[in-house]
């Protein structure tokens, strides 16, 4: 199901999941002085998402929180209508990578086969493998367009996010995504070498634990990501019911148009006290 890893990119074997980080010997050169040292690296492994026995996608991902990843990917890609259509998840480690086996409802499986993609994903690949242009832009669900994004909530989320980035602290190589409530409190955060994967893990965690959204699963949260804001990131956030998305880097023009069309607030270049609002400025409380 997962091809054997090439010799140049070995995956730890033994039937156990690889650790999210590994230690590697390096030679540091600073100010003309050489020194041998040990450095922490973020691991990435091929992760196959297998639905009812059929491999649908292979993504390069950080081998942690893979159940969240599988559920979030299934929801954000529209493969299932809700988490209840996923009946079971098994994570199987092999010599060539990791297979996440999902058992899904017959209705969802039939629909998936009709629009099947085969993704040979680079790290964090969002649309690679889409086999027709009409699959790129999906119909998004209604969003809570009356919700206001407070500038202080953006700043609160940004200030709190570093404390949720344990992997990045030791490796400097992972993205983070978080779900924040209206006050900017981080409800759940996840890390991954791929920005799309990190957001999928957050979406999966929310779906697996609905109480994280608050009473009755109220949809009044926004997504916070340590990356640029692309079309794929807007789509995934919208599929999760986010009324806004905040990114620390730039947005793309297509992402701004999509956010405007969906009634989503889009904030980018969010760093420290400063940010730029590209869509939904009328719902920004300064």
List the catalytic residues.
125
Q: How far apart are CA 153 and CA 117, in angstroms?
A: 37
Phi, psi of 142 (to 5 degrees): -60, 140
- The first and second tokens of residue 90, run together, are 């098994």
C-alpha angle with apex 236: 239 to 146, nearest 5 degrees? 50
Entry field: residues in the chain = 286
* Pairing assessment for the beta strands 33-42 and 21-30 based on DSSP bridges: antiparallel
Instruction: Compute the radius of gyration of the chain from its Cα atoms.
Output: 19
The three-state DSSP-derived secondary structure of 39-94 is: EEEECCEEEEEEECCEEEEEEEECCCCHHHHHHHHHHHCCCCCCHHHEEEEEEEEE
DSSP SS3 for 149:
strand
């Amino acid at each position: 199901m997962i091809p054997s890893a090439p010799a140049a990119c070995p995956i730890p074997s033994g039937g156990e999941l690889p650790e999210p980080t590994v230690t590697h010997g390096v030679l540091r050169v600073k100010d003309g002085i050489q020194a041998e040292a040990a450095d922490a690296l973020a691991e990435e492994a091929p992760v196959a998402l297998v639905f009812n026995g059929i491999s649908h996608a292979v993504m390069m991902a950080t081998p942690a929180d893979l159940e969240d990843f599988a559920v979030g990917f299934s929801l954000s890609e529209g493969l299932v209508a809700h988490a209840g259509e996923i009946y079971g998840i098994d994570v199987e480690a092999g010599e060539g990578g990791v297979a996440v086996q999902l058992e899904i409802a017959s209705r969802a499986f039939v629909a998936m086969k009709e629009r099947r993609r085969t993704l040979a994903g680079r790290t964090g690949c969002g649309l690679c493998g889409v086999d027709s242009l009409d699959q790129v832009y999906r119909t998004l669900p209604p969003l809570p367009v009356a919700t206001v994004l407070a500038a202080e909530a953006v700043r609160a989320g940004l200030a709190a996010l570093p404390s949720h980035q344990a992997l990045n602290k030791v490796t400097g190589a992972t993205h983070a995504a978080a779900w924040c409530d209206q006050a900017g409190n981080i409800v759940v955060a996840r890390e991954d070498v791929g920005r799309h994967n990190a957001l999928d893990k957050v979406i999966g965690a929310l779906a697996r634990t609905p109480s994280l959204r608050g009473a009755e699963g109220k949809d009044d949260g926004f997504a916070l990501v340590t990356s640029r804001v692309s079309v794929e990131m807007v789509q995934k956030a919208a599929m999760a019911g986010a009324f806004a998305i905040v990114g620390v880097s730039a947005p793309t023009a297509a992402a701004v148009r999509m956010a405007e069309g969906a009634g989503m607030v889009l904030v980018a270049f969010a760093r420290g006290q400063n940010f730029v609002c590209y869509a939904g400025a009328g719902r920004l409380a300064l």
